[in-house]
Amino acid sequence: MTTAPSTARMADSVKDAAIAALLVAVLGFFFLALRTDIGTGGLDLTTRWGLWFIAIAITFGVRLALNLFVFKAARPVTRGIKVTAPAGLTSFVGRFLGPFLLILALCLPFLLMALFPNRDRQFIDLAILIMTYVMLGWGLNIVVGLAGLLDLGYVAFYAVGAYSFALLAQYFEIGFWTAVPLAGLLAALWGIILGYPVLRLRGDYLAIVTLAFGEIIRVVLLNWYDFTGGPDGISGIPKPSFFGLDFSRTGGFAEFFGLDYDSIHRFIYLYYIILVLALITNFVTLRLRKLPIGRAWEALREDEIACRSLGINTTNTKLTAFSIGAMFAGFAGSFFATRQGFISPESFTFLESAIILAIVVLGGLGSQVGVVIASVVMIGGIEVLRNLGFLKEIFGPDFEPTQYRMLIFGLAMVLIMVWKPRGIISSRNPSAVYKERKKISSDMVAQGEGH
């Protein structure tokens, strides 16, 4: 390398930075350098040359630095950022991330109690919320990630599950543990009823009709006042019992085991219920993927016509994906009802469907661990922003971080999509292996209909 290219580079960079600075000077002149205030008998003009010069100088400096070290550099300093982790580390993380997360999930309530003795209730509640979304994400992953059917109305089945339990409890006084399977079955039944006419449609049309069905269920719940209570919702939904023991102050769980009564027991119990439900979802999904039905779902996502030429009944195959996905939403829905103790149609808006779908897409279609990471980031992220009290000390007491959380959240999603367009974990694990297990890059995997 001689000095000639580097002088040329320097000259180019300075020229480019000067142009950028000039642009800021021209554009900023009226906004920064001049300021008009309403004064007596017209407008008062104040000049702010200092501010104007600072803006120009910052532009020039940053642009010059970017030119020298990134845009025109022989070795851009940003190059290292793009490089992915070394292969050894990736496979190490890939192998141990799942078990690590499982152990962490199993110990989480006790870890939280030990680490945050004052705020443990709040954090366990947040963990329950995240775990609910993990379960919903895993359920939707069957429909969207494996079978490739874009379902924008998934929350409908969540609502069916929640209302099934609430209404069964209200009219027949059925407890949580009896209601969970019933709620799942009813949601699966609705999955079949809605799916049968809908699944003949393809692509965008399928997405729109599922969206409509999601809204129809909500509107019916809202307007069928005599049966569902309409906008008033249903309250007094029973809490789950621990083998017949309630979590009450007297004669309940604490007394039976000789513990001091603490309201946290119920939260820990709820956490383990949703953890077990989510793990069942995960286990069944992973199992189904390796079975002929799961392979048929993935084949359907890849090429529906080829599936039919191989003797696969595509309507039935889609229906099973739809109804199994719906069933898990039904389980999650009945859990949601018992956790809240009160449900109303407001909890089942399109936004919920969108969040669950975003979790699946962010995590990487078809990836189980991806869904967990995306749920923690999305649901946990929103909650963290709620609690950014220290920002008030920087930006003054009027600053309300929650107002910006959707903005920050949107920006983060855009960044992730730029960095990893096929989701955080975007490779596919083959369902059967002859000799050597090789990961399949997402570039080859089809995304199915409506993407």
Residue 84 beta carbon to other proteins: minimum distance, rounded to whole angstroms: 20
Residue 207 beta carbon to other proteins: minimum distance, rounded to whole angstroms: 21
Residue 124 beta carbon to other proteins: minimum distance, rounded to whole angstroms: 32
**Amino acid type, 265:** H
For other proteins, the closer CB: 284 or 413: 284
For other proteins, the closer CB: 59 or 320: 320
For other proteins, the closer CB: 122 or 431: 431
Radius of gyration of the chain (CA): 28
133: closest CA among 425, 386, 383, 372? 372
For other proteins, the binding residues (CB under 8 A) are 284, 287-288, 291-293, 295-296, 298-299, 302-303, 305-314, 320, 428, 430-438, 440-441, 444-446
For other proteins, the closer CB: 179 or 299: 299
Q: Tell me the backbone φ, ψ of residue 377, rounded to 5 degrees.
A: -65, -45
CA distance 302 to 318: 13
For other proteins, the closer CB: 166 or 321: 321
Q: Give CB contacts under 8 A, 24+ apart, made by 411-418.
A: 412/377, 412/381, 413/358, 413/362, 416/362, 417/362
Residue 303 beta carbon to other proteins: minimum distance, rounded to whole angstroms: 5
CB burial of residue 222 (10 Å; 0-12, 13-18, 19+) = middle
Tell how many helices (H) and how many strands (E) occur in the chain.
19, 4
CA distance 86 to 441: 16
Residue 386 beta carbon to other proteins: minimum distance, rounded to whole angstroms: 39
CB atoms closer than 10 angstroms to residue 9: 16
* Residue 16 CA neighbour count, 13 Å, CB half: 15
For other proteins, the closer CB: 98 or 430: 430
Residue 426 beta carbon to other proteins: minimum distance, rounded to whole angstroms: 11
CA distance 159 to 236: 17
Residue 293 beta carbon to other proteins: minimum distance, rounded to whole angstroms: 5
For other proteins, the closer CB: 164 or 282: 282
